[in-house]
Chains A and B, each alone.
Chain A
């Protein structure tokens, strides 16, 4: 770790190891996210960014180390209780359910804490979802599915969003729209841990960057240093 720590960690991860079967995927990841901050994980494909999110969420059970969120020890929390600690997960593959309508997808995740948005507020933020509320979830375009995947977490009152590559494979105009949505969420006080390959997108909302290589965090720096580090990052990430 090179620079100063975030003020008061809301999410705190220390020396996190995780395994897929026999394959050791995370080799001691440590990171902090302060309340209201947006933190972005950068790195090549396969270095363990998605694995980090899945291990924090508890989807990967073969893990070791220390994860604390909002004063709760998540290592001891079973998967179906993690969301109740106040964490929402938006997976890379979006996870929209084909046998559920848009409406049903939207209200599927149980409300875990007060302070979530109402369905009306969510539709204000995502007007095109409202028009398609009775369609099957997977009849939506890729961009709409991504918005639905984010939208359904906003009802639940979660305080931290784990977002895995929300802009992957989407047209620039949709990426722009998702950027606006995340900025709105951030303005409302949402804490976000973002995995993203798209620097330009991430730089608009991120307060802090962590760079991952081979299942470890190698560098972390505040958003202000991004421009200076761009060349070095391009070498490491190769995008």
Chain B
């Protein structure tokens, strides 16, 4: 058997794949958080709950309406995004003029309410969501066995991240978004409906969380706590990448997923904390984050 640094190459590649899959979710989630923070200056603590909501809406669509994975990939982000836009309009938008702490507290409370409600109805044990038949089974790559669904997750998340990045960097809507992140008052004085832009941005960021949720449903179990388990790591990713940096969130998401995977191979005991160690080091050396602009 081929060995690298005394580790069987299969084990190494296997953990790297796990890292890449986790990284795919970190990237999609931190991307949504970064977009929301960039424009709304709200630290969206409900992001984990919106991710969980995505998985659950997908599960419920299948269980009650027989709507399968592929339509759910479109429907779930729409449903989660729309619901979040309503929350933004009704509640969050009223907190922009007060201390940012209120936005944080509100979204934190919202997350507790959503998670509590699902826990009440579904308990803490996970529900199984089987991957669609087209993506079941796996492929032997010669050096390792790749479950097809996991390969799909990596490719799809790359497409989603790239697509979101292009939306922000190359379109007119993206230009409004970037400009409003710098100077919302001036953009509004130019005649752009910035309050609507904020609602839309919160919707897009939350829809990304919902999309990550439905994509995660076949990989992890669908459980009310799946979001709160993940969200702390995702916050660390956002901090390492640089608060509000879109590219930083994407690149750091994959990087830290891989770092976590590698740690599992070489020193499994540290795999749960490696991301936080990296965060601490980055904060010491570059407080604005790897891709952040120094204020």
Contact = CB atoms under 8 A, between A and B. Distances in A.
B190 A83 contact: yes
A132 interface: no
Nearest to B176: A108
Give the size category of A's interface with B.
20 to 34
Interface stretch (A66-74, A89-97, A118-126, A189-197): A89-97
A177 interface: no
A109 interface: yes
A108 B175 CA distance: 7
B91 interface: no
A167 B182 CA distance: 24
Contact of B191 (A84, A95, A98): A84
Main secondary structure of the interface of A (DSSP, over half): loop
A40 interface: no
B194 A97 contact: no
Q: Is the interface of B mostly helix, strand, loop or mixed?
A: helix
A99 B189 contact: no
B179 A97 contact: yes
A89 B189 CA distance: 7
B83 interface: no
Given A104-B175, A108-B175, A97 B191 contact: no
A80 B175 contact: no
A57 interface: yes
Contacts of B187: 108
B191 A112 contact: yes
B192 A91 contact: no
Contacts of B194: 80
Interface of A: 57-59, 79-84, 89, 91, 95, 97-100, 104, 107-110, 112, 156
Given A82-B189, A99-B179, A110-B191, 12 more contacts: A59-B189, A79-B185, A80-B189, A80-B191, A97-B178, A98-B182, A99-B181, A107-B172, A108-B179, A108-B187, A108-B190, A110-B192
Those 5 A-B pairs whose CB atoms lie nearest each other, nearest first: A83-B191, A109-B190, A99-B178, A95-B186, A97-B179
